[in-house]
Amino acid sequence: KEGKVGRKDGQMLPGEDEPLHALVTANTMENVKKAVEQIRNILKQGIETPEDQNDLRKMQLRELARLNGTLRE
């Protein structure tokens, strides 16, 4: 995400100089194809769904708040 690049010490994190990508591994080609389709659906939802209606984003932000100890019910 723009503006979030690098660590506090100014160094880049591993992979930050690479284009956005996903590594998919599975024991069958069918499972790889299923995973790729799921990734495409997630990206499509993230692009096409308004932020306030994006349930996946809401769940991710809720989990992040829980992990950070800042979750308010």
Instruction: For 47-66, write each residue's pLDDT tens digit.
Output: 888 878 888 888 888 998 99
Instruction: Specify burial of residue 35 (Cβ count, 10 A radius: 0-12, 13-18, 19+).
Output: middle
pTM (two decimals) = 0.55
Instruction: Specify burial of residue 8 (Cβ count, 10 A radius: 0-12, 13-18, 19+).
Output: exposed
1 vs 27 pLDDT, higher one: 27
CA–CA distance, 42 with 54 (Å, rounded to integer): 10
pLDDT of residue 2: 54
CA–CA distance, 73 with 69 (Å, rounded to integer): 12
Residue 23 has pLDDT above 90, yes or no: no
72: confidence class by pLDDT, cuts 50, 70, 90: confident
